[in-house]
């Protein structure tokens, strides 16, 4: 048996440190932050994997600030991410889907950190009880307030374009962490044998076009005419244009957008008559994905403007959301402008 170490495998830590070497002025704080998120994700992954075995399934018995049933795993994941980031050295505070207000870590080390994090600790939580893919979504911002002081809501209400990094974890048939900085999108698959995220999808690019459209078709009667027209166009695509498109909808945005990022496609959560802003949250669901997909060459919009240009005024605000392959998004946008 050979004693040689296989150096083809690059762990998340090794990769971020390698990236940092290209920036002599880098302090390593972002690498630290990503390592902390990776650590919390591994802990969540362990619980997700045994969710059918322990008494962690089912409702927690409360509703979160969105008025949705909170599942036990949502609470567990939220606590893991907060705990790890609070005790790390790179994060001054956090805004979470599960908590009405931002969490200001407010200790000497955290106050000196330059980043804040927005997070959906568990996305697709209605899928936990039925063993379907779920995820975590996060965005990282450089604070606008002065380091040395506690962070404030101002640090969180930045446009998505200001994100320094954004990523997601997908707890699927394998567990992956995908993150983007302006320089590129890279995917790491968890090797359960060594408990490390290993670079498996370097420099992810979103195909310019695809054959999949993803949306909750059950809401069709509630959509505006232009959206309905676009969906009909997807269904009527001729064979030579790759049609008719296939409809795929997991109901966990992480799974739906991940598939479209890798294979090409468009994901839509439009506003409805009852809920003109749709369901998805700008800060910790739409912005991180928009950043990742744009860096990978795709596009994201609310039907009128790029998601990343929206100036937020609330931590939990919602927005209609359309995201995916560049050419499909351009066709969608031309339908919306017609
Ligand atoms: P969460 O579990 O964080 O509340 O998010 C669920 C979201 C998203 O992942 C998914 O695309 C969407 O809700 C599904 O909503 P519908 O059931 O209305 O289609
Ligand atoms: Mn979500
Ligand atoms: Mn959630």
What pLDDT is recorded for position 78? Answer: 97
Pick the ligand that lies closest to the CA of residue 122. 3
| Ligand 1 lined by 98 (C-beta under 6 Å) | no
Residue 78 to residues 86, 106, 180, 300, 311, Cα–Cα distance (Å): 12, 18, 22, 27, 26
Distance, CA of 278 to CA of 91 (rounded, Å) = 30
Q: Parallel, antiparallel, or unpaired for β 103-104 and 91-96?
A: antiparallel
Count Cα neighbours of 24 within 13 Å in the Cβ-side half-sphere: 0
175 lines ligand 1 (CB under 6 A): no
Q: CB of 71 within 8 A of CB of 60?
A: yes
Place of tokens 């009128």: 304
pLDDT of residue 23: 82
C-alpha 124 to ligand 1 mean position (Å): 5
pLDDT of residue 58: 63
Nearest residue CA, atom 6 of ligand 1? Answer: 124
Q: Check residue 70 and give its pLDDT.
A: 63
Is residue 69 lining ligand 1, measured as CB closer than 6 Å?
Answer: no
| Closest residue CA from atom 15 of ligand 1 | 251
What lies within 8 Å, CB to CB, of 238 at 6+ separation is: none
List the shell of residues around ion ligand 3, using CB closer than 5 Å. 97, 120, 122-123
Domains and CATH numbers, the chain: 12-201 (3.30.540.10), 212-336 (3.40.190.80)
Q: Would you write out the chain's pLDDT as a tens digit for each of its 338 residues?
A: 556 666 678 999 999 999 888 887 888 999 999 999 999 999 999 989 887 776 666 666 677 777 776 668 899 999 999 999 999 999 999 999 999 999 999 999 999 999 999 999 999 988 988 899 999 999 999 999 999 999 999 999 999 999 999 999 999 999 999 999 999 999 999 999 999 999 999 999 999 999 999 999 999 999 999 999 999 999 999 988 888 999 999 999 999 999 999 999 999 999 999 999 999 999 999 999 999 999 999 999 999 999 999 999 999 999 999 999 999 999 999 999 98
Q: What pLDDT, on a 0 to 100 scale, did the predictor assign at position 128? A: 87
User: Which single residue is written with the structure tokens 């499909």?
Assistant: 328
Whole-number Å distance between alpha carbons of 137 and 323: 15
216 lines ligand 1 (CB under 6 A): yes
Question: Distances from the Cα of 228 to the Cαs of 6, 60, 278, in angstroms?
Answer: 52, 37, 15
List residues bridging with 323 in a β-sheet: 267, 300
Edge-to-edge strand order for the sheet containing 246-247? 246-247, 212-214, 266-269, 321-324, 299-301
């Amino acid at each position: 048996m050979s004693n040689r170490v296989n150096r083809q495998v690059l762990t998340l830590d090794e990769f971020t440190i390698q990236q940092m070497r290209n920036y002599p002025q880098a302090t390593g704080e972002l690498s630290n932050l990503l390592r902390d998120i990776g650590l919390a994700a591994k802990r969540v992954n362990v619980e997700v994997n045994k969710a059918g075995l322990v008494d962690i399934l089912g409702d927690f018995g409360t509703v979160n600030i969105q008025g949705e049933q909170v599942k036990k795993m949502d609470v567990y994941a939220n606590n893991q991410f907060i705990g790890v980031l609070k005790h790390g050295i790179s994060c001054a505070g956090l805004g979470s889907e599960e908590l009405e207000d931002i969490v200001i870590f407010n200790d000497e080390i955290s106050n000196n950190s330059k980043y804040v994090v927005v997070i959906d600790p568990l996305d697709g939580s209605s899928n936990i009880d039925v063993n379907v893919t779920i995820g975590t979504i996060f965005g990282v911002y450089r604070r606008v307030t002065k380091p040395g002081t506690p962070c404030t809501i101002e640090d969180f209400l930045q446009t998505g374009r200001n994100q320094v990094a954004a990523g997601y974890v997908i707890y699927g048939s394998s567990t992956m962490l995908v993150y983007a900085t302006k320089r590129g999108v890279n995917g790491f698959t968890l090797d359960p044998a060594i408990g490390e995220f290993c670079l498996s999808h370097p420099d992810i690019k979103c195909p310019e076009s695809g054959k999949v459209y993803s949306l909750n078709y059950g809401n069709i009667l509630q959509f505006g005419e232009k959206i309905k027209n676009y969906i009909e166009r997807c269904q009527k695509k001729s064979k030579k244009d790759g049609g008719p498109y296939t409809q795929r909808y997991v109901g966990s945005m992480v799974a739906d957008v991940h598939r479209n990022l890798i294979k090409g496609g468009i994901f839509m959560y439009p506003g409805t008559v009852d809920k003109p802003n749709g369901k998805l949250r700008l800060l910790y669901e739409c912005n991180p994905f928009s950043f990742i997909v744009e860096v990978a060459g795709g596009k994201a919009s609310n039907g009128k403007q790029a998601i990343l240009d929206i100036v937020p005024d609330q931590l939990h605000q919602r927005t209609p959301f359309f995201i995916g392959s560049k050419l499909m998004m351009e066709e969608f946008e031309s339908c919306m402008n017609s």
